[in-house]
Structure 1
Amino acid sequence: MFGLSDIIKFLFSFFLIMPIVTLIHLSGHIFFVTIFGGSEKKILIGCGNKLFAFRNIEVRKYYFWNGTCEFKGLKHDNRLTNTLIYLGGAIFNLISMLIIYSLVYQNILDSSVIWYQFIYFSFYIMFFSLFPMYFSDGSPSDGKAAELALRNKLEDRVTDDIFVKKMEDDDDSCK
């Protein structure tokens, strides 16, 4: 059934693995932003008050709850570059899953519940970020934003985890 050891594994996954998977996802967005000349890039893990920052990564009080990335402008700003930025998180999740799976398959990493949970949470985030829908706050998922960008129908480039700062915007509050 479901015992105390399962609860401990769940808490470990929720408070450690999920934020790592979120960081990987957001790093995928920032990777493509960097390639296409974005400036003032920042990754925010969680929300609430700032706990600490390291370079362009800021960790918030509720670090296990979602995350976002911010940037200003792009040197190369078109439908293709925007689509790759929106899909970047899912691409990085997929690559990380394939790397972990291949390392376990080749017995380089021991098969353990940690790696299964890593792959599970990576797939979970990848699936729901790609599912083409609007969230309750009206922001599109990454998949919906990519679709709209390809069709040149994306009016506001904000998604559930990407925030494009306006040139005069210096607000660092939790999005």
Structure 2
Amino acid sequence: MFTLSDMWTFFLAFFLTLPLVTLVHEAGHVLAARAFGAKIKFTLGAGKTLFKIGPLEVKRLYFMDGWCQYESLKYDKLWVHIFIYISGSLSNLAVILVINFLIYQGTLPVHIFFYQFVYFSVYFIFFSLFPFKTGEGQPSDGLAIYEVIKYGKKADPID
């Protein structure tokens, strides 16, 4: 049962764990795009900008969303676009496997933080690969992959 004593855990999950999972996901896209020479821009959150560091922009509602845009690939092939789109989920999966391995080895303790991190990572993998358009009309990673395979459609340019 969820009680008032669970509020601290809830706030940590919502304001720390979920944004970290988002950062891992977006970092996967960024690293893959950079590996193929792309110019990137990525954002954590929604609303007004809190700060910018290089290509990273953090918004006031940093816990709400995340996205990555890229353009100008040096190696511009369809499979590269697919790899970039799936890299967010692959990075979430890699971190899940590392956390579980380290817990199994006794290096990390069994702790609610790691449980929540893995839980949110699985959530991210599922919903990012589910093909749909967001309320702003942006494709999920799954829809972007589908559009690349079916129509040869590539990334939108950076604004």
Does TM-score exceed 0.5, indicating one fold?
yes
SS at match of 1:59: strand
**Cα drift, residue 156 of structure 1:** 5.7
User: 1:22 matched to which residue of 2?
Assistant: 22
Shift of 1:109: 0.6
Distance 1:3 1:131 in 2: 33
Hey, what does 2:84 align to over in structure 1? Answer: 85
Tell me the C-alpha RMSD between the 2 structures.
Answer: 1.7
Superposed, 1:31-50 pairs within 5 Å as 31-39=31-39, 41-50=40-49
5+ residue gaps, structure 1: 159-163, 170-175
Moved more, 97-106 or 134-143: 134-143
Identity %: 40
Q: Retained in 1: the 8 A contact 2:28–2:91?
A: yes
Structure 1, residues 120-158: CA drift from partner, whole Å, max 9, x if none?
00110111001123334443221121122123x154634
Partner Cα distance (2:31, 2:42) in 1: 11
* TM-score normalised to structure 2 length: 0.91
Residue equivalent to 1:106: 105
Post-superposition CA distance 1:108-128 (Å, at most 9, x none): 011000000000001101110
Evaluate the alpha carbon distance shift between residue 90 and residue 103 of structure 1 in structure 2; reply closer, same or farther with a 3 A threshold: same
Structure with greater helix share of residues: 2
Distance 2:36 2:27 in 1: 14
Give the counterpart letter for 1:4 in structure 2: L
State the Cα deviation string for residues 16-53 of structure 1 (Å, max 9, x = none).
Answer: 011110011011111111111102x2221102222123
8 Å contact from structure 1 (residues 145, 154) kept in 2? no
* 1:36 partner letter: F
SS in 2 for 1:77: coil
Is the 1:32–1:85 Cα contact (8 Å) retained in structure 2?
yes
Indicate yes or no: 2:4 matched with 1:4.
Answer: yes
Structure 2 unaligned runs (5+)?
A: none
Give 1:35's aligned amino acid.
A
What TM-score do the two structures reach when normalised by structure 1?
A: 0.83
Residues 70 and 155 in structure 2, CA contact (< 8 A), matched pair in contact too: no
Number of equivalenced pairs: 159
